[in-house]
Structure 1
Amino acid sequence: MRKSLVALSVLAATALPTVVSAADYSDGIHKNDYKFLQFNLMGAINEKGPYESSHDYLEMEFGGRNGIFDLYGYVDVFNLTSDSSSDKANKDKIFMKFAPRMSLDGLTGKDLSFGPVQELYVATLMEWDGGNGGVNTQKIGLGSDVMVPWFGKMGLNLYGTYNSNAKDWNGYQISTNWFKPFFFFDNGSFISYQGYIDYQFDMKSEQGATSSSGGAMFNGLYWHSDQFAVGYGLKLYNNVYGFKDGEALPWDASATADSSGVGHYVSVTYKF
């Protein structure tokens, strides 16, 4: 599923430090606290996965930081008008993702930074679509905040994936995201380049994978003001979710996966 970056970009612009430095908890763990909530009206065009899909959906994004914990999450609601001709008709209505992290620097009281790595975390990620036998995974691993030339601070996490349906581990995922404002208007609004990469590997055929690896890269251009955002994203897919493009799906030998190629996303956001 898509990991939206509209909220992440706003937070980066308002909450992330602009100076390269290690995490500092010497004068209190709550000095960098923040929270956010916003709604995004989304349109997906030629989205890839087991099947190609074009559809609309509403996304509620939320998260923030409290002491040594940070959180990012969203809830997607598909086919808002219950249109019987929609690609999402008679399919799961909701998809949820929650990604809490716990700072190891804050927990231990030690500076664990090195090189470009500012802070280390225990990183987790939970995904669920509410369907019986559908997506139900939990990921856990090592997370970090890394300073990268031009881009600034980027999140970089490596997880192991546990499939709750199969009750077994199923490979790994490496994820990164970035946000870079590059054009500013006199009224304070700006345009940013923002995106992410999610790449999975060592996935098991006995759990339905027809490709042991696959992933996606999202590249977005967004205009931001204090209250609104409007954006376009181009997403590149390659055997995403472990389905080999053009091969039969594990649950339907008469259908083939459409899991590689290009998808497009448009969004309008209202920020609370």
Structure 2
Amino acid sequence: MGAFDELPGESSHDYIEMEFGGRSGIWELYGYVDFFNVLNNDSSDKAGSDRIFAKFAPRMSLDGLTGKDLSFGPVKELYIANQTVINGGAEYSFETTTIDPDTGENVVASNEPLYQTFIGLGSDVEVPWLGKVGLNLYGMYDLNAKDWNGYQISANWFKPFYFFENGSFVSYQGYIDYQFGVNDDFAALNSSHGGQMYNGLYWHSDRFALGYGLKAYNDVYGLKDGGLAGKTSGFAHYVAATYKF
């Protein structure tokens, strides 16, 4: 994959992504692992930064667990949902000292690797044209701070909409992760909300896919745009060439 102007940091870089998922009984799993700066290029925007970003999102079907059909209206199935996000390790964490613009005092901002887990209620919802959309509402537990900190609503979709005679097709696929109720006491760094939306157009065959994605950011990860984290709102572009196992 290639990322261009990815936020925060307006980073442009190449990377390898392993994406996986499936269903087994009452369990459903989706996840991916990203490996940055594959050739260890000193001129890469990711040089000297964490190499790994991972997301694991298992869900356990409440319908399957209880043996009852819990569907209603457009909601087709309910789940206990989890999502864990890990960004690299402690090797590249650092601290910076700056001035809080609200108080004029010197403050220390720690840039710890992201390590958060979310747990809540999940569902599959039938949406006009898009079809089945995964929709989850979580509470977020920050494993660095050892504290609950806000909520997140997430949605994901995969909609084939144009088919070719050879069986390949074009899809609109993507996701939304939006956090709210985040602690923003440190106003120079944090916002009370923030999120991202990925909009992808991909061509798929049985074994290959080629795609372009436009990602929109708004105070992503609850980091204030223009604050200590820099630019955290805007747009980034992605290209992908995929082989399917």
Same fold (TM over 0.5): yes
Q: Is 2:62 the partner of 1:104?
A: yes
Shift in CA distance, 206/167, structure 1 to aligned 2, threshold 3 Å: farther
Give CA deviations for 1:203-251 in whole Å, capped at 9, x if unaligned: 11357852100111111100000000000001111111111211223xx
Shift in CA distance, 207/59, structure 1 to aligned 2, threshold 3 Å: farther
Which residue, 110, 115, 118 being the options, matches 1:139?
Answer: 118
Q: Which runs of 5+ in 2 are unaligned?
A: 91-111
Q: Which runs of 5+ in 1 are unaligned?
A: 1-41, 250-256
Distance in structure 2 (CA, Å) of the matches to 1:96 and 1:46:
20
Distance in structure 1 (CA, Å) of the matches to 2:73 and 2:155:
17
Which residue, 213, 237, 241 being the options, matches 1:264?
Answer: 237
Deviation at 1:85, TM superposition (A): 0.9
Which residue, 5, 12, 23 being the options, matches 1:65?
Answer: 23
Amino acid of the residue matched to residue 201 of structure 2?
L
1:219 — aligned with what? 199
Amino acid of the residue matched to residue 50 of structure 2?
D
Give CA deviations for 1:76-120 in whole Å, capped at 9, x if unaligned: 100001011111111111111110000000000011101100000
Q: Is 2:134 the partner of 1:155?
A: yes
The alignment yields a C-alpha RMSD, in angstroms, of: 1.2
Deviation at 1:134, TM superposition (A): 0.7
Q: Is the 8 A contact 1:170 1:207 kept in 2?
A: no
2:5 — aligned with what? 46
Which residue, 79, 82, 88 being the options, matches 2:40?
Answer: 82
- Residue 119 of structure 2: SS of its match in structure 1? strand
Distance in structure 1 (CA, Å) of the matches to 2:33 and 2:157:
21
Distance in structure 1 (CA, Å) of the matches to 2:144 and 2:184:
15
Q: TM-score, normalised by structure 2?
A: 0.88
Runs of 4+ residues over 6 Å off in structure 1: none
1:183 — aligned with what? 162
Q: TM-score, normalised by structure 1?
A: 0.80
Deviation at 1:155, TM superposition (A): 0.2
Give CA deviations for 1:167-223 in whole Å, capped at 9, x if unaligned: 000101100011211111000000011121111001113578521001111111000
- Residue 134 of structure 1: SS of its match in structure 2? coil
Q: Is the 8 A contact 1:129 1:135 kept in 2?
A: yes
Q: Is the 8 A contact 1:166 1:207 kept in 2?
A: no
Higher strand share: 2
Deviation at 1:57, TM superposition (A): 0.4
Amino acid of the residue matched to residue 200 of structure 1?
Q
**Stretch deviating more after TM superposition (183-192 or 204-213):** 204-213
Give CA deviations for 1:108-160 in whole Å, capped at 9, x if unaligned: 00111011000000000011123223111111000000001111000000011
Shift in CA distance, 190/139, structure 1 to aligned 2, threshold 3 Å: same
1:253 — aligned with what? none
Which residue, 143, 147, 156 being the options, matches 1:168?
Answer: 147
- Residue 46 of structure 1: SS of its match in structure 2? strand
Distance in structure 1 (CA, Å) of the matches to 2:87 and 2:218:
22
- Residue 86 of structure 1: SS of its match in structure 2? coil
1:241 — aligned with what? 221
1:198 — aligned with what? 177
1:123 — aligned with what? 81
Q: Is the 8 A contact 1:113 1:119 kept in 2?
A: yes
Give me the identity figure in percent.
68
Q: Which has the higher contact order (CA 8 A, sep 6+)?
A: 1
